[in-house]
Amino acid sequence: MTDRNSKIAVVTGAGSGIGRAVAVELLRAGWSVVLAGRRAEPLAETAALVPGAATLAVPADVSRPQDVDALFTAAVERFGRVDLLFNNAGTFGPGGVPVEELPYDAWRHVVDTNLNGAFLCAQAAYRRMKEQDPQGGRIINNGSISAHAPRPHSVAYTATKHALTGLTKSLSLDGRPYGIAVGQIDIGNAATDMTTRMQTGALQANGEVTPEPVMDVADVARTVRHMAELPLEANVQFATVLATTMPYIGRG
């Protein structure tokens, strides 16, 4: 089913975790959603969670410019425009590796996915949003609590998330003349496969390993939907959503 009157979203990393939760939230709200991820099977599983909804699954590696171009070309060919990009695809990289032991290939993989991939997708979305009629749209970047404060032994992930904040600010400024609103959501411990280890014990700045609380990923999805459904005259520039008692504010 394709509803030409609905808003059109592209969600990267839509095969699992936060990306899947946001895609499902938008689909249930009546959006048409282009599901992007590296593997076709998880994307199909996401689409099946909302039977009859308007979806398009496009396997894509966001670190590859040709994949990103093909993704947005497919989105426009199917739905006619792009109203929202949720720039979500990302990776932690190897956990618990001190900076002096981190292989360059591991560093490069995290940078290519988290930063270069976010740039390529934002650039592709920006081009379509600038050209389409009516002009404009919204980009929401998935940052992290690590965009503000690092975890121990997370140099690649933390560096990319700090850089993503700069990308968000620059895109937000450059998008103003074209009705392109850009914001960022920083998330702390949404319950997904990627955060399972935090519930059993995460290394803290004082050297202790302590279990950390998590929150329902659906709460993140509802926040993204709120940001997405604002009129383009309004923008949530930065939002932080976190498990209430996680060790972030103050001394934990």
Three-state secondary-structure class, residue 91: coil
Helix and strand counts by DSSP (H, E) for the chain: 8, 9
Spatial distance between the Cα atoms of 21 and 237, rounded to a whole number of angstroms: 21
Spatial distance between the Cα atoms of 139 and 184, rounded to a whole number of angstroms: 8
> Nearest-CA neighbor of 215 among 238, 241, 239, 251?
241
CB atoms within 10 A of CB 241: 17
C-alpha dist (Å) from residue 127 to 1, 53, 59: 26, 26, 21
Spatial distance between the Cα atoms of 83 and 94, rounded to a whole number of angstroms: 34
Residues marked as catalytic: 157
Spatial distance between the Cα atoms of 125 and 138, rounded to a whole number of angstroms: 9
Spatial distance between the Cα atoms of 156 and 146, rounded to a whole number of angstroms: 11
Three-state secondary-structure class, residue 85: strand
Angle at 26 between CA 57 and CA 172, to 5 degrees: 95
Question: Measured in whole angstroms, how far is the alpha carbon of residue 110 from the centre of its chain?
Answer: 14
